[in-house]
Amino acid sequence: MRTLSKSKFISGVQCPKKLWLEWYRPELKPPLDAATEKLFATGHEIGKLAWLKFPNGKDATPADYKNLSVSLGNTKIWLEQGVETIYEASFSAGNAFCMLDILHRNQGELWAIEVKNSTSVKDYHLMDASLQYWVMNEAGFAPDRFFLMHINNQYIRKGEITSDLFTLTEITDEVIGNQDFVGDKLKELGQLSLMETEPEVSIGLHCSNPFGCDFQHYCWAHVPENSVFELTRMGAKAWDLFNQGIQRMEEIPEDYPLSDSQVLQLRGLKFNETYCDAPAIRNFLNAWECPLHFFDFETIMPAIPVLDGTRPYQQVPFQYSLHVLDENQNREHFEFLASPEAFSGGNPRKNLIEELKKDFRNVGSIVTYNKSFEVSRLRELAEAFPEDAEFLQGLIERIVDLYDVFRNRWFYHPAMKNSASIKSVLPALFPNFSYGDLNISDGMTASDSYLGAVQNCEALDLELKNNLLKYCELDTYAMVLIYGFLKDLDGTNDERK
C-alpha cells in the first residue's frame, strides 16, 4: 500500500484516476511549464517569509525527501523537548504522512499553521489541512488549534517586507469536522494503490476542479474536435449534451436553446459564415475623436510586493506601447519600458507617468482592448501620485474600448471560434499577423520574464528587452489594424493580405 502525501491525497479526492495515473503512469504527465515552476518557487519563497511571524524556530526540512526518517525523528524529539517553533514538522501515521509549515507553542497550546500564497481560504486548503490534522492526531500530537496563514491583501510595502504580509485565519472547527471523511478516504485510496488496472472514471467537472488535471490530454483523447465544450459560455449545458451522446457542435439539435453568440459560432463552424452589424460598428467608431491613441499596458503582479507603496498581487505597470493615428492616417509609435533596477530604490511608476505626459496629445480618443484593465491601472497611479491625478483622470475620460465590437458580437469571424480576445481576432482578420511568431507571445510570459529581472536586480539583456518591446508594440499595432479593417469593411485593406 502506497503512502499518501497531502498533494497525493488532494489528487485522490479530486479524482481517483488522477491519483492512480500519478502513481503508475507518470510518463503521461507533461513536463512542468514555466508558469507552474514559478508558482512553486513563489510558494517556497512565501513559506520562508512566513517564518518571520514565528522566528527562531528549528528547521526539520528533510535533506532527502525520499527518506523522511530524520525529519520525523527530529520532530518527535523537539516536541518532547518542548521546542517552541518547528518549521516543516514531519508526521507519519497509517498510510499517510505530512510536513506542516509551522508548528508553534503558544501559551500552552499547540498551533498547527499551514502557509498558502493565496489571499483567502479555499476549500482545498481545508481538505489538505484536514489530512494534516488526521496524521498529527494519529501520531499522538493533535494540535489544539489549526490556522491557515495566507497573504494579507491589504498589506502595503514600506521598506523591507515584514510579517504583516501574512494574516492568520483559524480553521480548527472545519478541519475537525472533516476527520471522518479523511479517515474513510484514506482507506479508499489505500485500496486504490493496490489496483493493477486503471480505474474507470468518466470525464466531468472534476477534471478542472480544484485544479486543471495534468492527464486531461489522456482522459479526453476521445473528445472530438469542435466539441460542445468549445461552444462559448456553455458551462453545465455542455456536459448535459455530452452525456446525452451529443459531442460535436454540429450535432446540437436545431431547436436547442442557444444564445446569439453561440448561434454565431455554430453557424460560423457549419457554414463558414461571418457576421457583421455594420451600422452598429459605424456608429460606435464615428463617436471617436482624432487623433486616436491606441494604448496598452504590461504589468507585473508579484505575490510579494517589489515596490514600496504596492500591495500583494497588485498589477504594477512597467511598460506601455502607444500608436497615434491622426485624421490623415499618419501613424507614430511611442513606447516605454522601465529599467528593472528602478524598482530597487527608484520610482518606475513616476517615470512612466512622466513619459505618458510626453507621449499623449491633449485631445483624441484613447483606444484600448478591454478598457477595464487600463482604467484600473491609471486609477491606481492617480491614487499613488495625487499630484498627477488630474492628468491621469483626463486620460481615463478619453478611453474607448475596441473590444466592445467583438464582445457584443457586432462582428464575428469563424476563425475567432469561442474567443473575442485580441489574440484570436487579429489572426482571424489578418492571417499573416500572429503572436505565435514572437519569442514572447503572451502577457504572462512578458510579466514573468520582466519580474525575474526585477527580483534579481539586474538589467534587461538586449534580447529580452527587444522581445518585450516587440510584444507590447504588436498589441497596439493589432488594434490599429483591426480599427482599419472595421473602418474599411466595404473597401479594401492591403495589410489584410
Cα–Cα distance for residue pair 217/214, rounded to 1 Å: 8
What region, left, alpha or beta, does residue 159 occupy, with left being phi > 0 and alpha being psi -120 to 50 degrees? left
What confidence score (pLDDT) does residue 495 get?
Answer: 39
Amino acid identity, position 274: T
Task: From 492, 481, 370, select the one nearest 428 (Cα to Cα).
Answer: 481
Whether the ω angle into residue 253 lies within 30 degrees of 0, i.e. cis, is: no
Whether the Cβ atoms of residue 292 and residue 324 lie closer than 8 Å to each other: yes
pLDDT in tens, 233-260: 999 999 999 999 999 999 999 999 999 9
Q: Which residues contact 391 (CB under 8 A, 6 or more apart)?
A: 353, 356, 357
All cell numbers assigned to 211:
485544479
Instruction: Count the neighbouring beta carbons within 10 Å of the beta carbon of residue 345.
Output: 8
Q: Which residues pair with 146 in a beta bridge?
A: 112
Burial 29-62 (b: 16+ CB within 10 A, else e): eeeeeeeeebeeeeeeebbebbbebbeebbebeb
Question: In whole numbers, what is the pLDDT of the chain averaged over residues?
Answer: 94
User: Around 203, how many Cα atoms within 13 Å sit in the side-chain half-sphere?
Assistant: 19
Cα–Cα distance for residue pair 110/362, rounded to 1 Å: 63
Residues of the chain with pLDDT under 70: 490-497
Residues, the chain, total? 497
Amino acid identity, position 480: V
Pairing between β-strand 96-106 and β-strand 109-115 as defined by DSSP bridges: antiparallel
φ/ψ (deg, to 5) at 146: -125, 135
What confidence score (pLDDT) does residue 490 get?
Answer: 54
Task: From 247, 278, 275, select the one nearest 261 (Cα to Cα).
Answer: 275
Instruction: Count the neighbouring beta carbons within 10 Å of the beta carbon of residue 256.
Output: 13
Whether the Cβ atoms of residue 425 and residue 278 lie closer than 8 Å to each other: no
φ/ψ (deg, to 5) at 154: -100, -5
pLDDT in tens, 216-230: 999 999 999 999 999
Cα–Cα distance for residue pair 438/355, rounded to 1 Å: 26
What confidence score (pLDDT) does residue 217 get?
Answer: 96
Instruction: Count the neighbouring beta carbons within 10 Å of the beta carbon of residue 186.
Output: 21
CA dihedral sign, ordered 184, 187, 193, 195: negative
Cα–Cα distance for residue pair 302/156, rounded to 1 Å: 13
Cα–Cα distance for residue pair 24/116, rounded to 1 Å: 29
What confidence score (pLDDT) does residue 493 get?
Answer: 39
pLDDT in tens, 261-301: 999 999 999 999 999 999 999 999 999 999 999 999 999 99
